[in-house]
Amino acid sequence: MTETNTNHAEQAINNQLATLEWMIDDAKRNLANAAKELMRRAENAVKETEAMMADKPCTMMWTDFVESDVRVAKEAKAKLNQLFEQQTMLRFFLKPE
């Protein structure tokens, strides 16, 4: 590769790394939000099951949303891992030989 092509490739990789930085930040926030939603749902589930065990009025609607909440969390984790892998690969390409 010529020096110009090398510089252009390095600049393109650096630009992509900069983009990945904010994408990773967004993905972290998405995973954190998924965790907060899981926690909120779990706290509600505990209250509802305590009411159920005390023969008080309760709902088991929380069970209808568990799979969806877990799916959202798994998708957020997968996206974050994919972005980290891209970042690692691009940093590898920038290493001097």
For residue 55, what pLDDT is reported?
A: 96
Find all residues with CB under 8 Å of 39, minimum gap 6, and list them: none
Domain of 19, in residue numbers? 3-94
Give how many domains the chain has, as a whole number. Answer: 1
Which alpha helices (DSSP H) does 1-97 contain, by range?
Answer: 3-53, 62-94
Q: How many CB atoms lie within 10 A of CB 34?
A: 19
Residue 5 — very low, low, confident or very high, per pLDDT cuts 50/70/90?
low
Residue 96 — very low, low, confident or very high, per pLDDT cuts 50/70/90?
confident
Residue 7 — very low, low, confident or very high, per pLDDT cuts 50/70/90?
confident
Phi, psi of 80 (to 5 degrees): -60, -45
The residue to which tokens 């505990």 are assigned = 46
Which tens digit of pLDDT belongs to each residue from 14-73?
A: 999 999 999 999 999 999 999 999 999 999 999 999 999 999 999 999 899 999 999 999
For residue 1, what pLDDT is reported?
A: 52
For residue 90, what pLDDT is reported?
A: 95
Report residue 9 as tokens: 């490739």
Half-sphere exposure of 21 (CA within 13 A, CB side): 7
d(CA 42, CA 63): 10
d(CA 64, CA 14): 44
Report residue 15 as tokens: 């630009």
